[in-house]
Structure 1
Amino acid sequence: MTTPTPHIEIEGAPATDPGLLAALMTGFGHFTAMQVRDGRVKGLDLHLDRLDRATRELFGRELDGKHVRTLIAGALATSGQRNASVRVYVYPDVRIAVTVAAPAPDGPGAPQRLTTVEYWRPAPHIKHLGGFGQSYHRAAAQRAGFDEAVLTSPYGEIAEGAITNIAFWDGTSVVWPSAPCLRGIAMTLLEPRLESVRRPVTLADLAGYRAAFVTNSRSIAAVTAIDEVTFAVDEELMGRVYSAYDSVEWDEL
């Protein structure tokens, strides 16, 4: 079965204007990614706040959340999809592009094997464009038979996955690395709903953890290995993580 071409709109209009397309080609901007089910989104206010904060930092202007919601709803209506993977991109001159694609599978993600790479994203607090480095390392990890790359400092401190946040279980608390990273929406929703702490996590610490998992806008999945360190899938832990995420209410667009 072939995957349908994503539906793309810019400021509520099909992406056909050469000037608008040129904005997309700058490679400078930011975005957020969300799963939509029956026209609803988890953590919608977090997505809108992320977009507004990054727009202020990159372009010196605020972003009207009501306008963004209208653009998302319009793109969904035009595409004829109520369940979808949606991305909202913001480019120079605060041009907004919305993409609507097939939804991610519901339910827990498949357990993942990860490998580490010495790389930290620039301006990691922004979900920015131009992520060549993380994409390069993730693709290399997948060619080597892994599911995802884990980004570390030259001194072995773990920050995040290439497109995920990572958390560890020490038997008492869920530990999120305190190194600079993008605070994903799933992570932000889960952190207060679990017994969570933030502290430095290094490669030397890995063997002392009982379990690990990764999160992003598409899934939450247990980790079975990071390089040569293996982890058992803690079904009780993962059940709590999934239940915590399921407890988050859906917000109407």
Structure 2
Amino acid sequence: DMTGFAAATWLRGINVVQVPTSLLAMVDASIGGKTGVNHPLGKNLIGAFHQPRLVLIDPDVLKTLPGREFRSAMAEVIKYGVIWDAELFGMLENCQRLDQMRYVKADLLAEILSRSCQAKAEVVSKDEKESGLRAILNYGHTIGHAVESLTNYKVINHGEGVAIGMAASSRLAVELGMWDAECDRRQSALIEKAGLPAKLPAGVDVEEILNTLQLDKKVQDGKVRFVLPVRLGEAAVTDRVDGDVILQVLKQML
């Protein structure tokens, strides 16, 4: 993100090649051209759209990736399974453990990388500047970003925030009758299998989360837009989520 943002702004845009060395960057940040940096008031509030000329992914570099960073990236992979690729979701369910790289076979890792990249590329190619469809890539990010910001980006990392956000969004979707409790259970099981959190960090005030949501980039006309799952492989964007329902779900996650 930082490199892409620098390339976007230097001389009003120069060529950039992304060579991601973390799983999170391989499946998400290096692809799509959305670059940004954090601000004390919110996640990625400063940024630009700037496509790389090339993305070079070498899975071998992941052999030295810290375990926490591997788990963090699995949140984004699970996200793709929920919003776009139900077959990928099923592959993750069939894997006995997702919390450490050594338990993920090379052929599954290759599928994770290729399917995640393909999912993001397909969505971005249909909506590069996030005027519509691309917003579904923010599944789990609305509340996740708020939690990251409120903890000063020091308590949880990005993937952990996304996992918490997906858990919240899934429950919101159940409350609104958009998808069923069994799908929520299956997603929860994957989040747990990946060793990711589904509860809010200690000390985070749910009222402060509601206030922070208003600073999110996706707010339009004062309304927070949530990405909520409809069925495995499909999600929808809505701004019709009542604050009381959000508060109720967040309190359940304390």
Structure that is richer in helix per residue: 2
TM-score, scaled to structure 1: 0.28
Structure that is richer in strand per residue: 1
TM-score, scaled to structure 2: 0.28
